[in-house]
Amino acid sequence: MSNANNHTINDDIPTLSGAVLLAQAPANIQCQITHHIESTGARVTLVENGQQVLEQTLNADFDLILMSINMPVLDGIETLKGLRQLGNNTAVYALTSEATAKGKDEFSQQGFKGGLVYPIELPKLYAVLQSHLRSPQQTKSPKNAQSDSLKAKIAELKPIFLASLRTQFGQLNEHIERRDFAQIIKILHIVKGSAGNFGYNNLTDVANSALVSLRLQQFDDAPALLAKVMVCIDKILNGKESCDTKN
């Protein structure tokens, strides 16, 4: 007979509140993890490399970070070191394939809270989420206003963001020509999640509109919305601090 009072996690979806940063999982697995996390009620921000992890955590609070060991720009271990140097003590779990999986002790020795192995087992994922996210009844103190030093850090990282945006601009061009909507969605999610941190709220808005259209498979509307995204990025890359696509 099962014990109704125990804390064993099963495949039932928990109801949670909080923010998760997901970094550079393989595309198919990334979609699955995002779906399972969002199904709990939690929010997911996607990034594609270690540098973007640092950028995101400078300007937003996350309850949990899941990131691949083998990321470009900065790998998982170097990114974790960077987070700790910035004074960020958010729980970080390593994502890795079975072939490269390390033992729990090895992850702990490197500073990770733990590890999740592809393919991700739902009970283990939900257990991790429940350990670090909140139930809807729980509250969290609001984020303090940015300090001068934090603002200086964001200003320091802005050129790196713009360099990444230039790369994403080229990638979007290629994927739009190929009508590779899966890759377009992935890039738009990253752009939407990072642009606002550097003051480009218009880009966040147009990227979100295009993203929603593609997720709803409203492909007739997609070309015009994607064109707005590309115009907006082009203006930013050419030195404009905002991008009103109506002009």
Contact 222, 151 (CB under 8 A): no
Select from 3.40.50.10300, 3.30.300.30, 3.40.50.2300, 3.30.70.420 the CATH code of 19-132: 3.40.50.2300
Mean pLDDT, all residues of the chain: 82
Question: Strands, DSSP E only, in the chain?
Answer: 19-23, 43-47, 64-68, 92-97, 114-118
- Domain 148-237 sits in CATH at 1.20.120
39: its two tokens: 């199904």
Name the 3-class secondary structure at 15.
coil
What gap in Å lies between CA 9 and CA 11, rounded to an integer?
Answer: 7
Query: Bridge partners of 67?
Result: 23, 94
Residue 130 half-sphere exposure, CB side, CA atoms within 13 Å?
15
Q: SS3 helix, strand, coil % of the chain, rounded to 5? A: 55, 10, 35
Q: Name the more confident of 197 and 114.
A: 114
| Predicted TM-score of the model (pTM) | 0.56
Sequence ranges of the domains in the chain = 19-132, 148-237
- The stretch 31-58 carries a mean pLDDT of 89
Name the 3-class secondary structure at 163.
helix
Say if residue 119's pLDDT is above 80: yes
Q: Name the more confident of 241 and 88.
A: 88
Q: How far is CA 79 from CA 67, 82, 87, 93, in A?
A: 9, 5, 13, 12
231: its two tokens: 């115009």
149 — pLDDT class (breaks 50, 70, 90): low
Polymer length in residues for the chain: 247
Q: Which DSSP helix (H) or strand (E) runs through 208?
A: helix 201-215
- pLDDT score of 212: 82
Q: Do domains 19-132 and 148-237 have the same CATH topology?
A: no
